[in-house]
Amino acid sequence: MSTILLVDDEVDSLWVFQLVLEGRGYHVILAENGDAALAKASRWLPDLIVTDWNMPGTDGIELCQRLKFYPALAQIPVVMSSGHTPPAEKSKLWNVFIPKPVELEELESVIDSLLAKRLDSPHHGTNVPAPAPSRWQPVPWKLWV
């Protein structure tokens, strides 16, 4: 089951997207702004992020820029949505742009496509940090004899 982080300051949009995506079997995490999204992304390491561009505080573009600073988050695919066209020079920060109002079938198709590409990628799993080495290593039984 893939985890998707939905970011939008319009709570009604979040709920609609959550219902649709959970109905398709995805685990969904919600955030109402970029700061909350960054905190939740670093805690849950989602497989994909869907974010609105225009939000108070940390907007979608700044969120994408900040995600790129963290190796564990930099490879997460991002779907940007907005009623406005974002600046072209920033378009490398996200994978797909979907204009608002978002067609649910288009969103589902884009999500399925990005997640399939990610699973097929040889770098799949690179955003998951290796477990920290434990100082409590098992003692070989020969030391006890």
Tell me the per-residue pLDDT of 87-139, one tens digit each, with 9 for 90 and over.
888 889 999 999 999 999 999 999 999 999 987 876 555 444 445 555 555 55
What integer pLDDT is reported at residue 87 of this predicted model? 82
Q: What gap in Å lies between CA 80 and CA 64, rounded to an integer?
A: 9
pTM, rounded to two decimals = 0.82
Partners of 111 in the β-ladder: none
Q: pLDDT-derived band of residue 142, with 50, 70 and 90 as boundaries? A: low
Range of the domain at 133: 3-143
In terms of DSSP bridges, do strands 96-99 and 48-52 run parallel, antiparallel, or are they unpaired?
Answer: unpaired
Q: Is the pLDDT of residue 20 over 80?
A: yes
Q: Which CATH number fits the domain that encloses residue 12?
A: 3.40.50.2300
Domain tally, the chain: 1
